Amino acid sequence: MSTRREFLQTGLYAGAGTFMPWSSQPASAEPHAGRRPNIVFILADDMGFSDLGCYGSEIETPHIDELARGGLRFSDFHNSPRCCPSRAALMTGLYSHQAGMGMMTSDYGRYPYPAYAGDLSEKCVTIAEALRAGGYTTLMTGKWHLTPLKIGKHNYPLQRGFDRYYGIINGAASYFDPASLTSDNDPIEVSKDDKDYYLTNAIGDHSAKFIEDAAHGDKPFFLYAAFTAGHWPLMAPEDAIAKYKGRYAGGWDALRKSRHSKQLAMGLVKPEWRITPRDARVPAWELASFHPWEQRRMEVYAAQIDLLDQNVGKIVSKLRQLGILDNTLICFMSDNGGNYEEMGRASQREGRPPFMPYTTKDGLPVISGNDPSIMPGPATTYQSYGIPWGNTSNTPFRLYKHYAHEGGISTPFIVHWPGGLKRSGITHTIGHEIDVMPTCLDVAGVPYPTKSIAGTPPPPLEGKSLFPVFQGRELTERSLFWEHEGNSAVREGKWKLVSQFPDCWELYDMEKDRTEMHNLADQFPNKVRKMAADYAAWAKRVGVQPWPMPQTPSGAIRMGAMPSPPYLMHDRI
Output the DSSP codes for 265-310.
Answer: HHTSS-TTSPPPPPPTTS--GGG-S-HHHHHHHHHHHHHHHHHHHH
Averaged over 283-311, what is the pLDDT? 98
Neighbours of 494 (CB within 10 A): 14
Residue 342 above 80 pLDDT? yes
Neighbours of 558 (CB within 10 A): 17
**What confidence tier does 416 reach under pLDDT thresholds 50, 70, 90?**
very high
User: Residue 523 carries which DSSP code?
Assistant: T
Spatial CA neighbour of 318 closest among 95, 141, 523, 567: 141
396 preceded by a cis bond (ω within 30 of 0): yes
Residues 6+ apart with CB under 8 A from 538: 19, 479, 481, 490, 544
230 preceded by a cis bond (ω within 30 of 0): yes
pTM, rounded to two decimals:
0.93
User: Residue 565 carries which DSSP code?
Assistant: P
Residue 14 above 70 pLDDT? no
Residue 300 above 50 pLDDT? yes
User: Residue 181 carries which DSSP code?
Assistant: E
133-180 residue pLDDT tens: 999 999 999 999 999 988 899 999 999 999 999 999 999 999 999 999
Residue ranges and CATH numbers for the domains of the chain are 1-30+479-542 (3.30.1120.10), 31-344+351-424+448-460+543-569 (3.40.720.10)
State residue 553's pLDDT score: 87
82-117 residue pLDDT tens: 999 999 999 999 999 999 999 999 876 789 999 999
The share of the chain scoring above pLDDT 70, in percent, equals: 91
Q: Is the Cβ–Cβ distance between 5 and 504 less than 8 Å?
A: no
232-243 residue pLDDT tens: 999 999 999 999
Q: Longest Cα pair distance anywhere in the chain, in angstroms? A: 66
The CA distances from residue 107 to 45, 81, 144, 171, 553, in Å, are 20, 17, 16, 13, 10
Torsion, CA 140, CA 193, CA 382, CA 299, rounded to 10: -80
Handedness of CA 246, 251, 252, 254 (dihedral sign): negative
d(Cα 333, Cα 311) in Å, to the nearest integer? 15
Spatial CA neighbour of 145 closest among 96, 210, 208: 96
d(Cα 163, Cα 142) in Å, to the nearest integer? 14
Distinct helix (H) and strand (E) counts, the chain: 14, 16
Averaged over 428-447, what is the pLDDT? 98
When the pLDDT of each residue in the chain is averaged and rounded to a whole number, the result is 92
Averaged over 357-367, what is the pLDDT? 95
Kindly give the pairing relationship between strand 367-368 and strand 381-382.
parallel
3-state helix, strand, coil in the chain (%, to 5): 30, 15, 55
State residue 560's pLDDT score: 63
Residue 39 above 80 pLDDT? yes
44-67 residue pLDDT tens: 999 999 999 999 999 999 999 999
Main-chain dihedrals φ then ψ at residue 524, nearest 5 degrees: -130, 65
Q: What is the DSSP string of 458-489?
A: PPPP-S---HHHHTT--PPP-EEEEEETTEEE
Task: Tell which wins on pLDDT, 492 or 3.
Answer: 492
Q: Is the Cβ–Cβ distance between 186 and 165 less than 8 Å?
A: no
- Tell me how far apart the terminal alpha carbons of the chain are, to the nearest angstrom: 43
Averaged over 454-480, what is the pLDDT? 97
The tally of CA atoms less than 13 A away on the side-chain side of residue 94 is: 24
State residue 421's pLDDT score: 97
503: left (phi over 0), alpha (psi -120 to 50) or beta: beta
